[in-house]
Chain A
Amino acid sequence: MTKYIDLHSHLVLKILNGLNAEPIVGKIKFQKIAFLVLKNFDDIFEFFDFKPHKFGPFSESLDYALEESKSKEESIIENETIKITEIGKAKLSNLDSISNLNVKEKINKELIEKTIDTIKEDFKNFTGKEILAFIYKSFPDYIDDSIIADSIDYKNIFLGLYERGELGISKIAELMGWEFQKAYDFIRKNAKLLIL
Protein backbone atom coordinates (compact mmCIF):
# COMPACT_ATOMS: atom_id res chain seq x y z
CA MET A 1 0.00 0.00 0.00
CA THR A 2 1.40 3.38 -0.91
CA LYS A 3 1.82 6.30 1.41
CA TYR A 4 -0.93 8.18 -0.43
CA ILE A 5 -3.43 5.39 -0.05
CA ASP A 6 -2.60 5.30 3.65
CA LEU A 7 -3.27 8.99 3.90
CA HIS A 8 -6.58 8.61 2.09
CA SER A 9 -7.69 5.56 4.06
CA HIS A 10 -6.67 7.25 7.27
CA LEU A 11 -8.72 10.32 6.41
CA VAL A 12 -11.77 8.27 5.43
CA LEU A 13 -11.72 6.54 8.81
CA LYS A 14 -11.07 9.78 10.66
CA ILE A 15 -14.02 11.49 8.99
CA LEU A 16 -16.33 8.57 9.68
CA ASN A 17 -15.13 8.34 13.26
CA GLY A 18 -15.40 12.09 13.90
CA LEU A 19 -18.18 13.62 15.99
CA ASN A 20 -18.71 10.40 17.95
CA ALA A 21 -18.84 8.34 14.79
CA GLU A 22 -21.91 10.21 13.57
CA PRO A 23 -22.93 8.50 10.31
CA ILE A 24 -22.91 10.49 7.07
CA VAL A 25 -25.83 10.19 4.70
CA GLY A 26 -24.72 9.83 1.12
CA LYS A 27 -21.47 9.76 -0.76
CA ILE A 28 -22.07 13.27 -2.03
CA LYS A 29 -22.23 14.59 1.49
CA PHE A 30 -19.20 12.55 2.50
CA GLN A 31 -17.17 14.04 -0.33
CA LYS A 32 -18.30 17.57 0.50
CA ILE A 33 -17.47 17.23 4.17
CA ALA A 34 -14.03 15.94 3.24
CA PHE A 35 -13.64 18.86 0.86
CA LEU A 36 -14.58 21.43 3.49
CA VAL A 37 -12.27 19.82 6.04
CA LEU A 38 -9.33 19.60 3.66
CA LYS A 39 -9.73 23.21 2.49
CA ASN A 40 -8.15 24.07 5.83
CA PHE A 41 -5.02 22.06 5.12
CA ASP A 42 -3.38 23.19 1.89
CA ASP A 43 -0.49 20.76 2.18
CA ILE A 44 -2.81 17.75 2.35
CA PHE A 45 -5.56 19.11 0.10
CA GLU A 46 -3.45 18.76 -3.04
CA PHE A 47 -3.07 15.01 -2.53
CA PHE A 48 -6.80 14.53 -2.89
CA ASP A 49 -7.05 16.27 -6.24
CA PHE A 50 -10.62 17.49 -5.93
CA LYS A 51 -12.08 18.27 -9.32
CA PRO A 52 -15.35 19.83 -10.48
CA HIS A 53 -17.69 16.91 -11.03
CA LYS A 54 -21.33 16.21 -11.79
CA PHE A 55 -22.16 16.84 -8.16
CA GLY A 56 -19.59 19.39 -7.06
CA PRO A 57 -16.00 18.92 -5.94
CA PHE A 58 -15.09 15.26 -6.10
CA SER A 59 -11.92 13.35 -5.26
CA GLU A 60 -11.64 10.08 -7.10
CA SER A 61 -8.87 8.84 -4.81
CA LEU A 62 -11.01 9.56 -1.77
CA ASP A 63 -13.90 7.69 -3.31
CA TYR A 64 -11.59 4.78 -4.00
CA ALA A 65 -10.40 4.82 -0.38
CA LEU A 66 -14.01 4.81 0.83
CA GLU A 67 -14.85 1.84 -1.37
CA GLU A 68 -11.73 0.09 -0.17
CA SER A 69 -12.67 0.65 3.46
CA LYS A 70 -16.08 -0.80 2.68
CA SER A 71 -14.61 -3.91 1.09
CA LYS A 72 -12.38 -4.40 4.13
CA GLU A 73 -15.45 -4.02 6.34
CA GLU A 74 -13.96 -0.95 7.99
CA SER A 75 -17.07 0.93 6.96
CA ILE A 76 -20.56 0.02 5.86
CA ILE A 77 -23.04 1.76 3.63
CA GLU A 78 -26.68 1.00 4.44
CA ASN A 79 -29.45 2.88 2.70
CA GLU A 80 -26.86 5.43 1.66
CA THR A 81 -25.81 5.97 5.27
CA ILE A 82 -22.07 5.56 5.73
CA LYS A 83 -20.78 4.37 9.09
CA ILE A 84 -17.50 3.26 10.54
CA THR A 85 -17.47 -0.32 11.87
CA GLU A 86 -15.70 -1.72 14.91
CA ILE A 87 -13.06 -3.08 12.54
CA GLY A 88 -12.65 0.42 11.15
CA LYS A 89 -12.33 1.90 14.62
CA ALA A 90 -9.68 -0.65 15.53
CA LYS A 91 -7.82 0.09 12.31
CA LEU A 92 -7.97 3.81 13.00
CA SER A 93 -6.76 3.33 16.52
CA ASN A 94 -3.90 1.27 15.18
CA LEU A 95 -3.01 3.85 12.53
CA ASP A 96 -3.08 6.62 15.11
CA SER A 97 -0.92 4.72 17.56
CA ILE A 98 1.83 3.71 15.14
CA SER A 99 2.24 7.19 13.77
CA ASN A 100 5.56 8.58 14.90
CA LEU A 101 4.73 12.26 14.91
CA ASN A 102 6.84 15.28 15.61
CA VAL A 103 5.34 18.21 17.51
CA LYS A 104 4.13 19.99 14.40
CA GLU A 105 2.52 16.86 13.00
CA LYS A 106 0.88 16.18 16.34
CA ILE A 107 -0.65 19.65 16.42
CA ASN A 108 -1.77 19.20 12.83
CA LYS A 109 -3.37 15.85 13.66
CA GLU A 110 -5.30 17.38 16.55
CA LEU A 111 -6.34 20.26 14.34
CA ILE A 112 -7.59 17.89 11.66
CA GLU A 113 -9.64 15.98 14.21
CA LYS A 114 -11.09 19.20 15.61
CA THR A 115 -11.89 20.44 12.10
CA ILE A 116 -13.62 17.17 11.21
CA ASP A 117 -15.77 17.43 14.32
CA THR A 118 -16.61 21.06 13.58
CA ILE A 119 -17.50 20.53 9.92
CA LYS A 120 -19.48 17.36 10.61
CA GLU A 121 -21.44 19.12 13.31
CA ASP A 122 -21.99 22.25 11.23
CA PHE A 123 -23.42 20.28 8.32
CA LYS A 124 -25.00 17.44 10.25
CA ASN A 125 -28.50 18.59 9.39
CA PHE A 126 -27.80 19.47 5.76
CA THR A 127 -29.01 17.17 3.03
CA GLY A 128 -26.66 16.31 0.16
CA LYS A 129 -28.42 18.86 -2.03
CA GLU A 130 -28.23 21.58 0.61
CA ILE A 131 -24.53 21.11 1.20
CA LEU A 132 -24.02 21.09 -2.55
CA ALA A 133 -25.88 24.40 -2.93
CA PHE A 134 -23.77 25.84 -0.13
CA ILE A 135 -20.55 24.69 -1.75
CA TYR A 136 -21.49 25.86 -5.24
CA LYS A 137 -22.09 29.35 -3.90
CA SER A 138 -19.03 29.32 -1.67
CA PHE A 139 -16.65 27.79 -4.21
CA PRO A 140 -17.97 28.65 -7.68
CA ASP A 141 -14.80 27.26 -9.29
CA TYR A 142 -16.27 23.82 -8.73
CA ILE A 143 -19.45 24.42 -10.71
CA ASP A 144 -17.88 23.37 -14.02
CA ASP A 145 -19.17 19.96 -15.14
CA SER A 146 -22.05 20.08 -12.71
CA ILE A 147 -25.25 18.59 -14.03
CA ILE A 148 -27.46 20.15 -11.39
CA ALA A 149 -25.95 23.52 -10.44
CA ASP A 150 -28.25 25.42 -12.79
CA SER A 151 -31.37 23.66 -11.63
CA ILE A 152 -30.83 24.26 -7.91
CA ASP A 153 -33.28 26.70 -6.36
CA TYR A 154 -30.68 28.38 -4.17
CA LYS A 155 -33.02 30.94 -2.67
CA ASN A 156 -35.47 28.36 -1.42
CA ILE A 157 -32.76 26.07 -0.17
CA PHE A 158 -31.16 28.86 1.84
CA LEU A 159 -34.58 30.00 3.05
CA GLY A 160 -35.21 26.49 4.36
CA LEU A 161 -31.82 26.43 6.04
CA TYR A 162 -32.56 29.80 7.62
CA GLU A 163 -35.87 28.55 8.97
CA ARG A 164 -34.14 25.59 10.54
CA GLY A 165 -31.57 27.87 12.18
CA GLU A 166 -28.76 26.57 10.00
CA LEU A 167 -27.79 29.82 8.25
CA GLY A 168 -27.97 33.47 9.28
CA ILE A 169 -29.15 36.34 7.13
CA SER A 170 -25.70 37.84 6.64
CA LYS A 171 -24.43 34.47 5.41
CA ILE A 172 -27.32 34.14 2.99
CA ALA A 173 -26.59 37.65 1.70
CA GLU A 174 -22.97 36.62 1.21
CA LEU A 175 -23.80 33.36 -0.56
CA MET A 176 -26.33 34.99 -2.88
CA GLY A 177 -24.15 38.04 -3.50
CA TRP A 178 -26.89 40.30 -2.12
CA GLU A 179 -26.76 43.42 -0.01
CA PHE A 180 -27.86 42.75 3.54
CA GLN A 181 -31.08 44.71 2.96
CA LYS A 182 -32.06 42.48 0.07
CA ALA A 183 -31.45 39.34 2.10
CA TYR A 184 -33.36 40.84 4.99
CA ASP A 185 -36.33 41.71 2.76
CA PHE A 186 -36.29 38.25 1.23
CA ILE A 187 -36.32 36.55 4.61
CA ARG A 188 -38.90 38.92 5.98
CA LYS A 189 -41.21 38.27 3.06
CA ASN A 190 -40.79 34.53 2.78
CA ALA A 191 -39.75 33.01 6.09
CA LYS A 192 -42.42 31.40 8.20
CA LEU A 193 -40.19 31.54 11.25
CA LEU A 194 -37.76 34.37 11.90
CA ILE A 195 -34.53 33.47 13.58
CA LEU A 196 -31.57 35.66 14.39
Chain B
Amino acid sequence: MIVTKIFDAVVLINIIQDLDFEEILIDWGKNPRYKQWTSYEVNLEVQKNARLKLNKLIALDIIKIFKPVPSNDIKQIQNLNPKLSIADCSLIYHYTKINNAICLTNDLHLRKYFIKNNFWLSGTNGIYLKLLKDKNIPQEIVEEKFNALKHDSRVFP
Protein backbone atom coordinates (compact mmCIF):
# COMPACT_ATOMS: atom_id res chain seq x y z
CA MET B 1 0.00 0.00 0.00
CA ILE B 2 1.33 3.43 -0.84
CA VAL B 3 -0.14 6.41 0.87
CA THR B 4 1.15 9.55 -0.73
CA LYS B 5 -0.35 12.34 1.27
CA ILE B 6 0.98 11.79 4.72
CA PHE B 7 1.90 14.34 7.33
CA ASP B 8 3.63 13.14 10.42
CA ALA B 9 4.08 10.12 12.55
CA VAL B 10 1.04 10.40 14.73
CA VAL B 11 -1.35 11.04 11.92
CA LEU B 12 0.35 8.24 10.07
CA ILE B 13 -0.47 5.81 12.82
CA ASN B 14 -4.04 6.79 12.53
CA ILE B 15 -4.14 6.55 8.79
CA ILE B 16 -2.71 3.09 8.98
CA GLN B 17 -5.31 2.22 11.51
CA ASP B 18 -7.98 3.65 9.26
CA LEU B 19 -7.01 1.40 6.43
CA ASP B 20 -5.95 -1.74 8.23
CA PHE B 21 -7.38 -1.36 11.62
CA GLU B 22 -8.64 -4.89 11.90
CA GLU B 23 -5.11 -6.08 11.43
CA ILE B 24 -3.35 -3.49 13.51
CA LEU B 25 -5.68 -2.87 16.34
CA ILE B 26 -6.83 -5.99 18.01
CA ASP B 27 -6.69 -9.63 17.23
CA TRP B 28 -10.32 -10.35 17.87
CA GLY B 29 -9.65 -14.06 18.11
CA LYS B 30 -7.24 -13.52 20.98
CA ASN B 31 -9.33 -10.91 22.72
CA PRO B 32 -12.94 -11.84 22.17
CA ARG B 33 -14.31 -10.55 25.43
CA TYR B 34 -15.46 -7.01 26.02
CA LYS B 35 -13.40 -6.75 29.18
CA GLN B 36 -10.23 -7.69 27.37
CA TRP B 37 -11.00 -5.50 24.40
CA THR B 38 -11.41 -2.44 26.54
CA SER B 39 -8.60 -3.15 28.96
CA TYR B 40 -5.75 -0.74 29.25
CA GLU B 41 -3.33 -3.57 28.72
CA VAL B 42 -4.76 -4.52 25.33
CA ASN B 43 -4.89 -0.89 24.33
CA LEU B 44 -1.30 -0.44 25.26
CA GLU B 45 -0.35 -3.36 23.02
CA VAL B 46 -2.39 -1.80 20.24
CA GLN B 47 -0.60 1.47 20.54
CA LYS B 48 2.75 -0.23 20.55
CA ASN B 49 1.94 -2.45 17.58
CA ALA B 50 0.70 0.49 15.56
CA ARG B 51 3.89 2.40 16.24
CA LEU B 52 6.13 -0.54 15.44
CA LYS B 53 4.31 -1.18 12.21
CA LEU B 54 4.54 2.47 11.35
CA ASN B 55 8.29 2.49 11.91
CA LYS B 56 8.66 -0.49 9.64
CA LEU B 57 6.61 1.07 6.88
CA ILE B 58 8.72 4.20 7.06
CA ALA B 59 11.98 2.23 7.14
CA LEU B 60 10.94 0.25 4.09
CA ASP B 61 10.06 3.49 2.34
CA ILE B 62 6.54 2.31 1.77
CA ILE B 63 5.22 5.46 3.33
CA LYS B 64 6.85 8.79 2.84
CA ILE B 65 6.54 11.59 5.32
CA PHE B 66 6.37 15.12 4.20
CA LYS B 67 4.87 18.34 5.41
CA PRO B 68 5.83 18.02 9.06
CA VAL B 69 4.18 20.39 11.47
CA PRO B 70 6.04 23.73 11.64
CA SER B 71 7.99 23.84 14.90
CA ASN B 72 6.48 27.19 15.86
CA ASP B 73 3.00 25.75 15.65
CA ILE B 74 4.03 22.77 17.76
CA LYS B 75 5.64 25.10 20.29
CA GLN B 76 2.51 27.21 20.46
CA ILE B 77 0.27 24.22 21.11
CA GLN B 78 2.68 22.66 23.57
CA ASN B 79 3.25 25.86 25.57
CA LEU B 80 -0.45 26.04 26.21
CA ASN B 81 -0.64 22.31 26.88
CA PRO B 82 2.74 21.41 28.34
CA LYS B 83 1.66 17.95 29.41
CA LEU B 84 1.06 16.91 25.80
CA SER B 85 3.91 15.37 23.85
CA ILE B 86 5.10 16.66 20.50
CA ALA B 87 3.36 13.69 18.93
CA ASP B 88 0.10 14.65 20.64
CA CYS B 89 0.51 18.24 19.49
CA SER B 90 1.13 17.09 15.91
CA LEU B 91 -2.10 15.17 15.99
CA ILE B 92 -3.96 18.18 17.33
CA TYR B 93 -2.42 20.42 14.68
CA HIS B 94 -3.50 18.18 11.84
CA TYR B 95 -6.83 17.48 13.38
CA THR B 96 -7.64 21.17 13.46
CA LYS B 97 -6.43 21.67 9.88
CA ILE B 98 -8.19 18.80 8.20
CA ASN B 99 -11.82 18.97 7.30
CA ASN B 100 -14.26 16.19 7.93
CA ALA B 101 -12.04 14.32 10.27
CA ILE B 102 -13.37 12.18 13.03
CA CYS B 103 -11.20 11.36 15.95
CA LEU B 104 -11.79 8.33 18.08
CA THR B 105 -9.37 8.12 20.90
CA ASN B 106 -9.07 6.67 24.32
CA ASP B 107 -5.86 8.53 25.04
CA LEU B 108 -6.67 10.25 28.28
CA HIS B 109 -4.77 13.44 27.61
CA LEU B 110 -5.99 13.90 24.08
CA ARG B 111 -9.53 13.25 25.18
CA LYS B 112 -9.24 15.92 27.83
CA TYR B 113 -7.88 18.34 25.27
CA PHE B 114 -10.57 17.62 22.71
CA ILE B 115 -13.36 17.83 25.23
CA LYS B 116 -12.05 21.07 26.67
CA ASN B 117 -11.75 22.60 23.24
CA ASN B 118 -15.14 21.46 22.04
CA PHE B 119 -13.87 19.23 19.31
CA TRP B 120 -16.02 16.54 17.94
CA LEU B 121 -14.87 13.44 19.69
CA SER B 122 -16.57 10.14 19.27
CA GLY B 123 -16.06 6.91 21.09
CA THR B 124 -15.06 6.56 24.65
CA ASN B 125 -13.23 3.33 24.96
CA GLY B 126 -11.32 0.55 23.41
CA ILE B 127 -9.93 2.12 20.29
CA TYR B 128 -7.36 4.66 19.24
CA LEU B 129 -8.21 5.68 15.77
CA LYS B 130 -8.55 8.61 13.52
CA LEU B 131 -10.42 8.46 10.27
CA LEU B 132 -9.14 10.92 7.78
CA LYS B 133 -11.42 11.70 4.93
CA ASP B 134 -8.48 12.30 2.66
CA LYS B 135 -8.84 12.13 -1.08
CA ASN B 136 -6.24 9.38 -1.13
CA ILE B 137 -8.49 7.22 0.96
CA PRO B 138 -11.61 6.27 -0.98
CA GLN B 139 -14.57 7.85 0.70
CA GLU B 140 -16.64 4.70 0.53
CA ILE B 141 -13.97 2.74 2.39
CA VAL B 142 -13.87 5.30 5.15
CA GLU B 143 -17.64 5.38 5.39
CA GLU B 144 -17.88 1.60 5.34
CA LYS B 145 -15.34 1.24 8.14
CA PHE B 146 -16.81 4.01 10.18
CA ASN B 147 -20.31 2.62 9.82
CA ALA B 148 -19.05 -0.77 10.89
CA LEU B 149 -17.58 0.83 13.97
CA LYS B 150 -20.76 2.73 14.69
CA HIS B 151 -22.72 -0.48 14.71
CA ASP B 152 -20.37 -1.91 17.26
CA SER B 153 -21.52 -1.00 20.70
CA ARG B 154 -18.04 -1.58 22.02
CA VAL B 155 -16.94 1.54 20.22
CA PHE B 156 -20.05 3.60 20.77
CA PRO B 157 -21.41 2.64 24.15
Chain B minimum-CB-distance residue to A126? B83
Q: Which residues of chain B are near A122, meaning CB under 8 Å?
A: 81-83
Chain B minimum-CB-distance residue to A138? B82
Residue B85 contacts which of A123, A171, A196 (CB distance < 8 angstroms)? A171
Chain A minimum-CB-distance residue to B108? A165
In the complex, whether B118 has a CB less than 8 A from a CB of chain A is: no
Chain A minimum-CB-distance residue to B79? A40
In the complex the two chains form, what is the Cα distance from A175 to B73 in whole Å?
A: 19
Residue B108 contacts which of A123, A168, A187, A193 (CB distance < 8 angstroms)? A168
**Beta-carbon contact of A118 and B84 below 8 Å:** no
Which one, B36-44, B58-66, B142-150, is touching chain A? B36-44
In the complex the two chains form, what is the Cα distance from A118 to B113 in whole Å?
A: 10
**Beta-carbon contact of B80 and A40 below 8 Å:** yes
Q: Residues 166-196 of chain A: 1 if any B CB is under 8 Å from the residue's CB, otherwise 0?
A: 1111110110000011001001100001111
Chain A minimum-CB-distance residue to B87? A170
In the complex the two chains form, what is the Cα distance from A122 to B108 in whole Å?
A: 12
In the complex, whether A157 has a CB less than 8 A from a CB of chain B is: no
In the complex the two chains form, what is the Cα distance from A134 to B78 in whole Å?
A: 14
Once A195-B108, A196-B106 are accepted as A-B contacts, the answer to whether A171 and B83 lie under 8 Å apart by CB is: yes
Interface SS of B by simple majority: helix
Q: Which residues of chain A are near B79, meaning CB under 8 Å?
A: 39-40
**Beta-carbon contact of B87 and A196 below 8 Å:** no
Q: Residues 19-55 of chain A: 1 if any B CB is under 8 Å from the residue's CB, otherwise 0?
A: 0000000000000000010011000000000000000
In the complex the two chains form, what is the Cα distance from A39 to B48 in whole Å?
A: 33
In the complex, whether B137 has a CB less than 8 A from a CB of chain A is: no
Bin chain B's interface residue count.
Answer: 20 to 34
Within the complex, what minimum Cβ distance (angstroms) separates A192 from chain B?
A: 11
In the complex the two chains form, what is the Cα distance from A166 to B84 in whole Å?
A: 10
In the complex, whether B94 has a CB less than 8 A from a CB of chain A is: no
Within the complex, what minimum Cβ distance (angstroms) separates A131 from chain B?
A: 10
In the complex, whether A115 has a CB less than 8 A from a CB of chain B is: yes
Q: Which residues of chain A are near B106, meaning CB under 8 Å?
A: 196
**Beta-carbon contact of B86 and A174 below 8 Å:** yes
**Beta-carbon contact of B107 and A184 below 8 Å:** no
Since A170-B85, A171-B85, A195-B108 are in contact, a sample of 10 more A-B pairs with Cβ atoms closer than 8 Å, ordered by chain A residue number, is A115-B80, A118-B81, A138-B82, A170-B86, A170-B88, A171-B84, A180-B51, A184-B44, A194-B44, A196-B106
